[in-house]
Amino acid sequence: MVCPPAIHLNPEKYHDPLSFNPWRWKGQGSITTSKHFMPFGGGMRLCAGSEYEKLQMSVVLHFLLTKYRWTKIKGGEIKQTLGVVFPNGLHIKVKEVNHEQE
């Protein structure tokens, strides 16, 4: 049995594991990352809040896509992996939409 906090907070796996650093997985590949980062656990001990989180992310994504207009400034090359990876970054401009003017 794997205890996710034991992995997530292990200083042998992550330098300064208590600091917020979303770049810590950059360049490691999605297969390596999935073995080390398990935010909801898995199997019989899957977090009960995982479905709630998916609902919340759907709501946030809905508002980001309907209330704002996104314009690409530069970047956007996509690398084929199990997830979406922008190896050179993606710079965007986000502008709130005024639906009354449309």
Q: Which structure tokens are listed for 97?
A: 């939409």
Binding-site annotation, residues for heme: 47
With the C-alpha atoms ordered 96, 76, 13, 39, is the resulting torsion angle positive or negative? Answer: positive
Binding-site residue ranges: 47
Alpha helices by DSSP H, listed for 1-102, are 4-8, 30-36, 50-66
Token pair recorded at residue 2: 């794997």
> CA-to-CA distance for 68 and 11, rounded, in angstroms?
39
* Helix, strand, or coil (residue 35): helix
